[in-house]
Amino acid sequence: MGRFWFGVGLMILLLALGMYCAQAVTNSHEPIAQLLEQAAMTPQQEDAAQLLKKARQDWDHHWNGMAILSDHGPMDEIDSLFAQAEAYARQGLAEELSALCMRLSQLVRATAENHSPTWWNFL
Amino acid sequence: MIVSYLRTVVLYSVLIAVIRMMGKRQIGQMEPSEFVVTMLVANLASIPMQEEGIPLFTGLVPILTVLGMELILSFLSMKNMGVRKLLCGKPVILIENGNILQQNLRKTRVTLDELTGHLREKDILDLRSVQFAILETNGNLSVFPYPKDRPASAAEAGIPAKKQFLPVTIISDGKLMEGNLQVAGKDRAWVDRVLKEKHASVSGTWLLTVDKADHILFYRKE
């Protein structure tokens, strides 16, 4: 009987932990994706660079937690794209920066979406 | 994490269903759910072990989910006959009163060669000497020959049989098993007395066992 309740408890705990993690990933990634989207849309190059910097800080802040839960491959790709975007910002390449920020925004959003309990992820 | 949890729940259930559909002859020794757990856990553990880029969590979550489901299902199958039947199936009689039940052989997909092979393993050459042969839920074949074809037991032969007791290990490889002394109802003084008789020490003894009838088995360490 004890083992049965341990099993039930374990299943409930894992379900709750899974739902919490999915929500935490969405909550942490969505603001980053929005910042990057804004950076892509901003006509002022300096504003875009500031938004990119803020997005990078937030991304780095959540990096460890995310690395525990998901495949490191896509995260490494996002890291390298951030580095590339920062280089574009330093060189004043506004068009390239805008395109890259939009791409980054999509990637960050997709990374979070991979953890959400949607039917397409499930299947 | 939630995705791997949900996927594991579904995969575990599907695997049990598939193994059940495959039939008993695919299992051997294990119940279907045990087989699924063994198969799944080994594979799930190997993925994060080999791929360094994949977090340990992606392996741990499914393994713990399988553990949780196994604990729940094993309890339910213990308490409920219907669940047990669903998960493990039920034994199938293949030979009844010397007659091979061909329909049951077809149903379990056991060939005649396999059946006779199993019987030969149990030293049975003549099918007519088998009263019952039952394919158990774990894939093993239990065979019961007619009483006249069975070797007589001591009781049937009227031979008085000695009582048997479980030997308890007191010294194993030079180490005294303090806990087992109590189980055997002995104390340290008894060990010293026995060792003195054998001209041995604890560290010089490889094995010392004793049973309830005080039968001692002693091996010196070489």
- Nearest chain A CA: its distance from B12 CA (Å): 13
Fold (CATH) for A2-115: Four Helix Bundle (Hemerythrin (Met), subunit A) (1.20.120)
- The 10s digit of each residue's pLDDT in A62-90 is 998 888 888 888 899 999 999 999 999 99
The set of residues, in sequence order, having a beta carbon less than 8 Å from that of B55 and lying 6+ positions away, is A67, A68, A69, A70, A71, A72, B48
Residue B13 lies in a domain: yes
- A4 and B75 Cβ atoms separated by less than 8 Å: yes
Q: Which domain holds residue B72?
A: 2-88
CA–CA distances in Å: residue A21 to residues A63, A108, B133, B159? 14, 16, 53, 70
Dist. CA B222–CA B154, nearest whole Å: 38
Q: Which of A3, A8, A21 sits opposite B1 (nearest CB)?
A: A21
Residue B179 lies in a domain: yes
- B75 and A3 Cβ atoms separated by less than 8 Å: yes
Residue B160 lies in a domain: no
Residue B162 lies in a domain: no
Chain position carrying tokens 């092979």: B117
Dist. CA B118–CA B132, nearest whole Å: 13
Q: Are residues B7 and B80 in the same domain?
A: yes
Tell whether B54 is within 8 A of chain A (Cβ).
Answer: yes
Tokens of B168: 């308890």
Residue of B nearest to A118 (CA): B3
Q: Are residues B10 and B77 in the same domain?
A: yes
Q: Are residues B83 and B7 in the same domain?
A: yes
Q: What is the ipTM of this complex?
A: 0.74
Q: Are residues B80 and B112 in the same domain?
A: no
Residue B163 lies in a domain: no
Residue of B nearest to A123 (CA): B7
- B57 and A69 Cβ atoms separated by less than 8 Å: yes
- B61 and B1 Cβ atoms separated by less than 8 Å: yes
* Average pLDDT rounded to a whole number, residues B9-13: 79
- The 10s digit of each residue's pLDDT in B42-58 is 788 777 777 777 777 77
In single-letter form, the type of residue at position A22 comes to A
Judged by CB atoms closer than 8 Å, whether chains meet at B1 and A115 is answered as yes
- A14 and B7 Cβ atoms separated by less than 8 Å: no
Answer with the one of B113, B129, B155 that is the final residue of a domain.
B155
Chain position carrying tokens 């009838």: B213
Dist. CA A33–CA A36, nearest whole Å: 5
Reduced to 3 states (helix: H, G, I; strand: E, B; else coil), residue B164 is coil
Tell whether B50 is within 8 A of chain A (Cβ).
Answer: no
Residue B27 lies in a domain: yes
The CATH number covering residue B128 comes to 3.30.240.20
- The 10s digit of each residue's pLDDT in A16-74 is 998 998 899 999 999 999 999 999 998 888 888 999 999 999 999 999 888 888 888 88
Q: Are residues B13 and B81 in the same domain?
A: yes
Residue of B nearest to A24 (CA): B1
- The 10s digit of each residue's pLDDT in B173-195 is 999 998 999 999 999 999 999 99
Answer with the one of B132, B155, B178 that is the final residue of a domain.
B155
Q: How many domains does chain B have?
A: 3
Please report, for chain A, the start and end positions of each structural domain, with discontinuous segments joined by +. 2-115
Dist. CA B91–CA B53, nearest whole Å: 46
Answer with the one of B88, B123, B141 that is the final residue of a domain.
B88
Q: What is the model's pLDDT at position B92?
A: 93
In single-letter form, the type of residue at position B107 comes to K
